[in-house]
Amino acid sequence: MKNINSILILLLFLFFSCNPGPDHQNRGLVATHGMVVSAHPEASYIGRQILEKGGNAVDAAVATDFALAVCYPSAGNIGGGGFMVIRLKDGKTATLDFREKAPLLAYEKMFQDSSGKIIPGLSINSDLATGVPGAVAGMLAALKKYGTLPLEKVIQPAIDMAEKGFPVTRKQADDFNRLKETFVRVNRFVPAFVKNGQWKVGDTLVQKDLAATLRQIRDNGRAGFYQGEVAEKLADQMKYDGGLITLEDLANYKPVWREAVTGTYKDYKVISMPPPSSGGVALIQLLNMVEPWPVKKWGWNTSRTVHLMVAAEKRVYADRAEFLGDPDYVDIPVKQLIDKGYCKKRMKNFSLGRAIPSDSISHGNPPGYESEETTHFSIVDARGNAVAVTTTLNRSYGNKVVVKGAGFLLNNEMDDFSSKPGYPNSFGLIGGKANAIQPGKRMLSSMTPTILEKNGHLFMVVGSPGGSTIITSVFQAILNVVEHNMTMQQAVDAGRFHHQWKPDVIFYEKSALDSLTINELKKKGYEFHLRKSIGRVDAVLVFPDNRLEGGADHRGDDTADGY
C-alpha cells in the first residue's frame, strides 16, 4: 500500500509539475521562428510563407496587406488607408501614416444642408464619402525603407489569389448574400461579390479586375495606382458618381513617417501610433489612469475594475473629442495629454462609490496647449523584428462601391471627420473643431496598432478593428495579459466592454460581465447596452525564451500561422 501511495504521489507531482495550471491553458499557436496573425487564414498563410522564404516582418506585412485586399474585402483594401508601427530587432521604432486624405475640393460644410443640418447618410453612402486612398503608397513606402524582398515577390501571391480565386468562409458567404441587393444598387455593373443564386461556404471568389490592378502595381510601383490606367478609372468613377477625388489628388498623395508616441505602464514600454490616429495617445492615457490602482488584486471585470476602467474611458474620449486631429493642420498637446501627472489629475474626482455622469465630464486642460470593419494584423519574424498594422475602409466594405474595371472597393473615411462640431459620426464619436474637414487633411482615427516591450525586450504586438471600440479593445487585451495572467489567446477571446464618454452607456458582450457585476454597477449609476461583438484583436506574445504565441480572435475568421 505504501508503494501504491508513493506512486500516486509521484504521479500527482509529475502532473502538476508538467501542467502549467489554469492560467496557462488555452494557448494560441506557438511558434519558434515567426508568426503572422491576421483576419483571414489565406492572408496569414501568405505572410508566413514570406517569412519562411527569408523575408522580414515588413516584407510579410506588405504581402499580408495585399493578400487581405483580395481575401478580406470587408476591410482589407487598396482603396483605403491605415497605420503601421514597426519595432526593429535593435529596438529602433518607426510609425507610418498612410491614412486617407480629404480631396482638394473638400470643404468643411460639405455634409450639411443650407441650414447647417447634417444630411443623413451622405458621409457614409456616397462617393463624396471617399477619401484619397493611402494603402498602396503606404505599403510601397514601408517596403522601400525596411523590406528586403522586391515588390514582385511580396505582391505576387495576392495577384495569384485574385486571379485564381479562394474559398469563401461562412461569414463571407453570409455577407455577400446579405449585401447582394446593395452591391447591385450602388454599382453600375455586377461586381465580383454578386453571383446568381446564393453564396455557399467553400465557393470560389475570383476577382479578375482586382488581379489586373495588382499587376499594374507590381509592374509600375506607385505609378501603377496613383497615375495611369488605374488612377484614370478611379477619377472617372468620381466624376460619374459625384465624388471629389481627382487625378491631382492621387498624384499628390504621400504617406508620412512619424515619431511613435510612447509611454510606460509599470515594467512595460508602450509604442503606438501618434495623431492623426487617436489610438496611441488614448491608450497611454488609459494605462496611466489605471496604473495607480490595484487592478490585479481586484480581478478581471469585477465591479471595481470595470468602474475604474470606464471612468478612465470617459475622460479619455472627452479629451479625444477636444484635442485630437491631423497634426499637420492643428496643434496637438500630445506630451501633455500622456503625462502621468495630467492623467492623475484627470482622475482626481474618481470615486469608487459612484459613477460620474458623462455630462459632468469635459475635456481636461493640459498645460501648454470603424459594422465597425477595420482589420489588424501582427507579425514577428525570426530576427525579432515586429510590425503592427491596422487598415480600413471605415464601414464594412466601405461605401460598397467598386471601381469599374479596377476591382477594388472605395472607402467612406470622410465620415471620420467632424461633419459638424459636436455632432456624432456613424460610430457615435463626438468630434470637435480640431477634426473639421479641410482640403488635403487626414481624418482622425481610432486605430491603435501597438507594440510593447518588457524590460527592453519585445513583449507583445497587438491591435484590433472596431471603430470607436478599437482603443478599449487593445486596452483590455493588454491588461488581460499584464494584470490578469491570461495567455495571449485567452486575452483576445475574453469578453469585452466599452465606454466612449457619449452616449453615457456601457456597451458589453454577454461573456464580459455577469449579472451580479452589472447589478452592482447599476447601483453606482451606470446604464448598459448588450452588444453582439466588440473588436477582433489579433496579437503576438513573446515568451522569455523568444517563442511566439499567436492570439487570433474567435469572433471572426482570424488565424495565427507560424513556423
pLDDT in tens, 304-323: 999 999 999 999 999 998 89
Can you tell me the distance from the alpha carbon of 92 to that of 243, in angstroms, rounded to the nearest whole number?
41
Q: Tell me, what's the pLDDT at 420?
A: 66
Instruction: Burial-class residue 371 by CB neighbours within 10 Å (0-12, 13-18, 19+).
Output: middle
Model pLDDT for residues 354-406, shown as the tens digit of each residue? 777 777 666 666 654 444 579 999 999 999 999 999 999 999 999 999 999 99
Same domain, 505 and 522: yes
Mean pLDDT calculated for residue range 232-255: 96
List the CATH number of the domain containing 522.
3.60.20.40
Model pLDDT for residues 436-460, shown as the tens digit of each residue? 999 999 999 999 999 999 999 999 9
Tell me the whole-structure pTM to 2 decimals: 0.92
In a domain, 427, yes or no: no
In a domain, 547, yes or no: yes
Same domain, 405 and 495: no
Query: Last residue of some domain: 415, 435, 469?
Result: 415
Mean pLDDT calculated for residue range 494-515: 95
CA distances from 137 to 13, 79, 246, 306, 559 (A): 58, 11, 16, 41, 26
In a domain, 282, yes or no: yes
For 342-358, b where at least 16 C-beta lie within 10 A, e where not — what string?
bbeebbeebeeeebbeb
Model pLDDT for residues 53-80, shown as the tens digit of each residue? 999 999 999 999 999 999 999 999 999 9
Same domain, 230 and 270: no
Active-site entry in 64, 130, 374, 450: 374
Grid coordinates 461573456 are at which residue?
511
Residue 302 pLDDT > 90, yes or no? yes
Residue 23 pLDDT > 60, yes or no? no
Same domain, 359 and 453: yes
| Number of domains making up the chain | 2
- Percent over 90 (pLDDT), the chain: 85
For 514-548, b where at least 16 C-beta lie within 10 A, e where not — what string?
eeebbebbeebebeeeeeeebbbbbbbbbeeeeeb
- Percent over 70 (pLDDT), the chain: 91
Same domain, 64 and 186: yes
Same domain, 91 and 215: yes
Can you tell me the distance from the alpha carbon of 271 to that of 284, in angstroms, rounded to the nearest whole number?
9
In order, the DSSP letters of 406-418 are T--BPP-GGGGSB
Residue 6 pLDDT > 50, yes or no? no
* Arithmetic mean of pLDDT over the chain: 92
Q: Tell me, what's the pLDDT at 167?
A: 98
Same domain, 492 and 401: no
Q: How many CA atoms lie within 13 A of 105 on its CB side?
A: 15
302 included as an active-site residue: no
Confidence of residue 418 (pLDDT cuts 50, 70, 90): confident
Longest Cα–Cα distance of the chain, Å, equals 93
In a domain, 134, yes or no: yes
- 462, 478 in Cβ contact below 8 A? yes
Same domain, 344 and 387: no
- 400, 92 in Cβ contact below 8 A? no
In a domain, 20, yes or no: no
Domain of residue 279, residue span: 259-371+447-562
* C-alpha cell read off for 453: 516591450
Same domain, 507 and 451: yes
Give the ranges where 453-496 is alpha helix by DSSP (H): 470-482, 488-493
Same domain, 381 and 454: no
Instruction: Specify the higher pLDDT residue, 293 or 418.
Output: 293
Model pLDDT for residues 87-110, shown as the tens digit of each residue? 999 999 999 999 999 999 999 999
Same domain, 389 and 465: no
Same domain, 487 and 388: no
* First CA to last CA distance, the chain: 48
Q: Tell me, what's the pLDDT at 11?
A: 40
Residue 486 pLDDT > 50, yes or no? yes
Mean pLDDT calculated for residue range 540-559: 97
Confidence of residue 423 (pLDDT cuts 50, 70, 90): low
